[in-house]
Chain A
């Protein structure tokens, strides 16, 4: 069984990471009734005997003593990480896995990437090596960060190059939160474009997620619940949208529900690699089957269901509804329109009591409304995991490599160009002491790259 290490960078990354560890613990608690440290848990947690002084002797089998997350937490300001360490999850993290600074990156990619990158390079490398040593067989790094800020985008992408050099065999899955149109950070287009260049070159697979889509999903659910339309069939406090039953105190932070969705995405992505099922899918199979050419590695994700139904005995029609939902725009985590673009490949990862024939029937049903590239008409990858997520009887995660990411990136490019043409806001940007114009030149180079990138998609496959 393989292990994965989660690297959470920046405020956004750490908040999502915190939700992720909370949900992961709850999921394993629900599945693992006997409290034995098995291989499923070992993919994300270490079993440590805290009585042993020093590194904490790792125990590989037997009862669970104390679980430590395989995570590295990085942030250039202390607020978020300190809050985690004072919260209920403090025992899950090893204090030796944290890297913090005081001042923060000031929403500046260059500060995150260049200044803090060079300052903390050795420390970060050491922590990563330590985490890798604790694993028998490290397969994947999950990096969680946002694109619009300073630390997440700058330092997060600096990490990628380092990981590629140091651990070339290990996959790098990046969950990137893209800024929405009404983002309050002025420099977010610059930060995003500069980070995109790094993602293009050094990541194996990127799951772009959009704040706006997450917000839309949450508001839709609130509407459903509050309007009382669905009445008793909807359990409003499902694990997907809230942390009810979690260890956190109940005062809800605004981004809580949104972070929960992203955390669920990561759990479902790895479920088939951790748990058993009739058609298993490991993490290396994701990039094998969904990435036809190395640069085209952006996967649009959509997740269903988003709220629980009290009806346990779901008749097939409801099951089919789950598949239809996965291909509707409401359940996507990125604002894009896949139905009017070309699919390069699509993966359906199902959890729970669903049979292969259900999957195939639904693929046949939905196929006519989806357009695949001519050379990969039957580009589907399916997987079945028998363990359902907590609180649901089954769930579906759809990952699509679709050319609909092109308009999203074009929009980002537009925002970048609008600012750049007016040379805004140089005043903010020249505060640091590195030649910023050089980096922005690189950004323009990336703009050329995106043009080439989108040309690549359109020219090659239409």
Chain B
């Protein structure tokens, strides 16, 4: 019984990584850019119908919804190689075409204005599926559309489809003390974090800083393009869905993936790690790829795609998805070794160990490595990422800087013109609560406190 998944991509970042994701999926399932299977020799060992549906004329169409408030990115998709792949009815561009201008409030209110249309589009796609399992949203949290309209979409989905799983791939901004890509990113991030905390079931955190670092250190490429960075993100995104599309003995649907990783519904932010990372012809210096090597490498700080100090803090849960030619006994030995060497620091209040799933590799992708692996983990040090967000937010908010444009939006406007920023303060409160939650999860007596 197929459990379908609908993906939504919102904003420039969301659409750009979404496009790479679908490209990767098409490659894995041997679908050409027109949506037609290249040669039908392989039987239905894979479950394309989770992400694609078949139209009357043999075309495979992605269950994808594209949203943006300005036309350029979606237009470039419509003129690219993959233009005939997507269902044109699933592309939504705002009529005003002005974009959200890096303003969360503008993205949110523009989403609200076109509520009817958006619900129509989502409903149509939902009706198209027999047994919908959930939604995946890809977006960034620092800009205007991805964060503002994305937040609105999350609220809409959790209100209208409360029984379905909602997962997001959220791109967090550069949070160093040196530079940023958007000046008002603290405001946009904190406002979106509230929705990520309250309205989603799991969030896979993707971090621009660490991706850059991985390129420079592992691949020795000094100036990665956005195309290459998005390529890595798409590898991770497709690897997280491997067990759904190539069903094996366990973890064949989203709910089982999530339930093995997320113990406390609040702490649902996941870090990922992927090895080996290859981009086109650049191959990082990985020689030996046994299961043990792959699992050890996945635990290296340098491979983790979020810049948090994994040496401090503890793992709440880990799931490894290993693809390739593997032997189940190897897995057992690998886990034993890791436990003996105490390479992983787990929390004490739950019997925890690394869960491993073996997944089949796509027969259509030629890989130079025998074994590749993805790690999805729930680690308490992710709270440091949120702490940085809150610090930057505090600094700007104390001075009430850059708030003029937010005041123009209905959510922040007030009759006296001073602006009503309760929403921002509430969001910050909720984020701070989450940080405290993660911190207390590191304590041994966590279960003795009331949580939830």
Chain A residues near B (Cβ < 8 Å):
1-2, 39, 136-137, 139, 276, 278-280, 282, 284-285, 287-294, 316, 345, 355-358, 360-361, 363-364, 367, 374-382, 384, 460
Chain A residues, CB < 8 A from B70: 1-2, 280, 282
Pull 6 A–B residue pairs with CB atoms less than 8 Å apart, ordered by A: A278-B227, A288-B103, A289-B184, A357-B222, A360-B174, A364-B178
Partner among A289, A374, A460 whose Cβ is within 8 Å of the Cβ of B183: A289
The CA of A376 and the CA of B182, in the complex, are separated in Å by 12
Q: Is B444 an interface residue (CB 8 A)?
A: no
Most buried by A among B96, B177, B223: B223
| In contact, B71 and A288 (Cβ under 8 angstroms) | no
A276–B12 alpha-carbon span in the complex (Å): 11
Q: Which of A1, A289, A380 contacts B179 (CB 8 A)?
A: A380
B190 to chain A, nearest CB (A): 15
**Known A-B contacts A136-B97, A284-B103; A378 and B180 likewise in contact (beta carbons under 8 Å):** yes
User: In the complex, A376 Cα to B179 Cα: how many Å?
Assistant: 10
Q: Bound state CA distance, A291 and B401, in angstroms?
A: 8
Interface: B425 (CB within 8 A): no
Q: Are A1 and B101 in touch, CB under 8 angstroms?
A: no
Find the A residue at minimum CB distance from B229: A356
Do B183 and A290 touch (CB < 8 A)?
A: yes
Further pairs besides A364-B178, A378-B174, A380-B183: 18, Cβ < 8 Å: A137-B97, A139-B98, A276-B72, A279-B12, A279-B226, A280-B99, A282-B70, A284-B99, A285-B99, A288-B405, A290-B183, A291-B402, A293-B404, A355-B223, A355-B226, A375-B401, A378-B179, A381-B183
Q: Which residue on chain B has the smallest CB distance to residue A272?
A: B72
Min CB distance A327 to B, Å, is 14
Q: Which of A39, A282, A289, A293 sits near B98, CB closer than 8 Å?
A: A282
* Residues of A close to B182: CB separation below 8 A: 285, 289, 381
B399 touches A (CB below 8 Å)? yes
Q: Is the CB of B71 within 8 A of A39?
A: yes
Is the contact region of chain B dominated by helix, strand, or loop, or is it mixed? Answer: loop
- For residue B224, CB closer than 8 A to chain A, the reply is yes
- Which residues of chain A come closer than 8 Å to B212, judged between CB atoms? 357, 360
Complex CA–CA separation, A360 to B174 (angstroms): 10
Binds A, one of B21-29, B125-133, B390-398: B390-398
Contact A375–B395 (Cβ < 8 Å): yes
Which residues in A have their C-beta under 8 angstroms from that of B138?
Answer: none
Judge whether B76 is part of the interface by a CB distance below 8 angstroms: yes
Within 8 A of A (CB), among B400-437: 401-402, 404-405
How far is B360's CA from A209's CA once the two chains are assembled, in angstroms? Answer: 63
Which of B76, B102, B225, B226 is close to A288, meaning CB atoms less than 8 Å apart?
A: B102
The interface on chain B, measured as residues whose beta carbon lies within 8 A of the other chain's beta carbons, has a size of: 45
List residues of B whose CB falls within 8 A of some A CB.
Answer: 12, 16, 70-73, 75-76, 96-99, 101-103, 144, 174, 176-184, 212, 215-216, 222-227, 229, 392, 395-396, 398-399, 401-402, 404-405
A381 contacts across to B, CB distance below 8 A: 102, 180-183
Pairs of residues from A and B, 10 with the lowest C-beta to C-beta distance, nearest first: A284-B101, A292-B401, A289-B183, A278-B226, A363-B179, A357-B223, A355-B223, A378-B180, A375-B395, A285-B102
Contact residues in B for A364 (Cβ distance below 8 Å) = 178-179
Contact indicator A280/B12 (Cβ below 8 Å): yes
Bound together, the chains give a CA A291 to CA B406 distance in angstroms of: 12
Q: State which of B99, B174, B180, B184 has its C-beta within 8 Å of the C-beta of A282.
A: B99
Complex contacts, B398 vs chain A, CB 8 Å: 375
A contact residues around B399 at 8 Å (CB): 292, 375, 460
Assess the B183–A376 pair: CB atoms within 8 A.
yes
Tell me if A288 and B101 are in contact (CB < 8 A).
Answer: yes
Residues of A with C-beta under 8 A to B184? 288-289
- Pairwise interchain contact B12-A378, C-beta atoms closer than 8 A: no
Assembly CA distance A349 to B302 (angstroms): 31
Bound Cα distance A293, B174 (Å): 24
The residue from B16, B103, B144, B396 contacting A278, defined by CB atoms under 8 A apart: B16
Residues of B within 8 A of A289 (CB): 102, 182-184, 402
Chain B residues in 8 Å Cβ range of A376: 183, 395-396, 401
Of B12, B96, B181, which contacts A382 at CB under 8 A?
B181
For A384, what are the chain B residues with a Cβ–Cβ distance below 8 Å? Answer: 226
Chain A residue at minimal CB-CB distance from B71: A1
Chain B residues with CB under 8 Å of A291's CB are 402, 404
Q: Given the known inter-chain contacts A288-B402, A357-B224, please indicate yes or no for A378 contacting B96, CB distance below 8 A.
A: no
Q: B396 — which chain A residues lie within 8 A by C-beta?
A: 375-376
Nearest chain B CB to A53's CB is how many angstroms away?
Answer: 31
B72 contacts across to A, CB distance below 8 A: 1, 39, 276, 280
Q: For B177, what are the chain A residues with a Cβ–Cβ distance below 8 Å? A: 377-378
Chain B residues, CB < 8 A from A316? 222-223
Of the residues B73, B176, B179, B223, contact of A280 by C-beta under 8 Å: B73
A1 to chain B: which residues have CB within 8 Å? 70-72, 97
CB distance from A296 to the nearest CB of B (A): 10
Roughly how many angstroms separate A2 CA and B102 CA in the complex, as a whole number? 16
A280 to B97, CA, bound (A): 13
Enumerate chain A residues within 8 angstroms of B226, measured Cβ to Cβ: 278-279, 355-356, 384
A358-B399 Cα distance, complex, nearest whole Å: 32
A291 to B76 alpha-carbon distance, docked (Å): 31
A347 to B101, CA, bound (A): 14
Q: Are A379 and B183 also in contact (CB < 8 A) when A284-B99, A316-B222, A356-B226 are?
A: yes
A367 to B177, CA, bound (A): 10
Tell which of A284, A292, A374, A382 touches B402, judged by Cβ atoms closer than 8 Å.
A292
Q: Which of A280, A285, A290, A355 sits near B224, CB closer than 8 Å?
A: A355
Q: Return chain B residues, CB-CB under 8 Å to A377.
A: 177, 395
Q: Smallest CB–CB gap between A64 and chain B, Å?
A: 18
Tell me the bound Cα distance from A136 to B71 in angstroms: 13
Task: Say whether B98 contacts A284, CB under 8 Å.
Answer: yes
Tell me, in angstroms, the Cα distance from A378 to B393 when the chains sit together: 12
A381 to B177, CA, bound (A): 14
Question: Taking the nearest CB of chain B, how far is it from the CB of A412, in angstroms?
Answer: 26
A289 to B102, CA, bound (A): 8
